[in-house]
Amino acid sequence: MLRFLTAGESHGEALVAILDGMVAHLNLSEDAISKELERRQEGAGRGERMKIEKDKAQILSGVAKGETLGSPIALLIPNKAKEAWEKPFTQLRPGHADLAGAIKYNQKNLRPILERSSARETAARVAVGAICKKFLAEFKIKISSSVIHIGGVSSQKDIEQAIEKAKKEGDSLGGVFEVKCENLPIGLGSCMQWDKRLDGLLAQALMSIQAIKGVEIGLGFESTRLKGSKVHDEIFYNNNKFTRGSNNAGGLEGGMTNGEPLILKAAMKPISTLLTPLNSVDIATKKPAKAYVERADICAVTAAAVVGEAMASFVLANAFLEKFGGDSMEEIRSNFSSFQYPKNML
């Protein structure tokens, strides 16, 4: 079983991640992880911080001579932007964790809530996801993402114009991204218990990403507008293989992969920090105040798509290990190559 934890504050010394359960003898380098971190920093609408941070991963444990050991993998991503810890604030920011977090943790200064709830934490997730993606690639499983729309527009030129307009107005934009997972074997996940269903696990993983407000699998919400005859994917059997006439299910049926590409979509709300701040309240004085303004992006949908890849990779790598088992790459490869679907079913 794979599991991971992250630690660190947005403007602290560093972000830290520990991935436990990765098998031994997977080829892994710091550069492979750092390339995914670089992708997270790209995209139209990113803020000034991306000019400061040049995220690079340091492997502290679990890897020797370019191979995983089977022990926990500890990762460190140093922060360069650290000055904000000296700036306490009390003006609540609508859309952020400030109010709920301050009450929950009895914080009169909102800085500690901002520091941990910040999307900066996703850099650690991308580092973990890079390892999982590398593992899945060994079995020709490909994970990719794309932006469906930002602020309701989909062409790159229109997106850039919309972001520039929002920036001038002191506003922000959200959008929708898609994660596509190809060459998955049939039968990852399970229909037997609610917490083994892969659709539920993937939805939870994507919804846990900061600012994500909705997740679709395949046709998703659009299927509610159509009749069943227009939604369900017809099944055929040709050349000793089951095939589909469409993929409206998005590669998942009954909580299990069905052999078709896995298609996930996630909706990201507009960034909560606005350069033209909304009306709010000072948590210390209880008087009206404008929301606190922290350095922030105008839009981070492209970056969120990379985080979505990472989270999907983690869930799928765990499901893959659960099905094929093993503690080393050699054992996993042997189990995977020798696995056969029941002959009377194919």
Q: Known binding site for FMN: residues?
A: 116-118, 210-211, 254, 269-273, 295
Give the 3-state secondary structure of the chain: CCEEEEECCCCCCEEEEEEECCCEEEECCHHHHHHHHHHHCCCCCCCCHHHHCCCCCEEEECEECCEEECCCEEEEEECCCCHHHHCCCCECCCCCCHHHHHHHHCCCCCHHHHHHHCHHHHHHHHHHHHHHHHHHHCCCCEEEEEEEEECCECCHHHHHHHHHHHHHCCCCCCEEEEEEEECCCCCCECCCCHHHCHHHHHHHHHHCCCCEEEEEECCHHHHHHCCHHHCCCCEEEECCEEEECCCCCCCEECCEECCCCEEEEEEECCCCCCCCCCEEEECCCCCEEECCCCCCCCCCHHHHHHHHHHHHHHHHHHHHHHHHCCCEHHHHHHHHHHCCCCHHHC
Binding-site residue ranges: 40, 46, 116-118, 210-211, 254, 269-273, 295
**Residue 292: what are its φ and ψ, rounded to 5°?**
-65, 140
Q: Which two tokens stand for residue 145?
A: 């993402």
Binding-site residue ranges for NADP(+): 40, 46
Question: CA 69, CA 26: separation in Å to the nearest integer?
Answer: 8
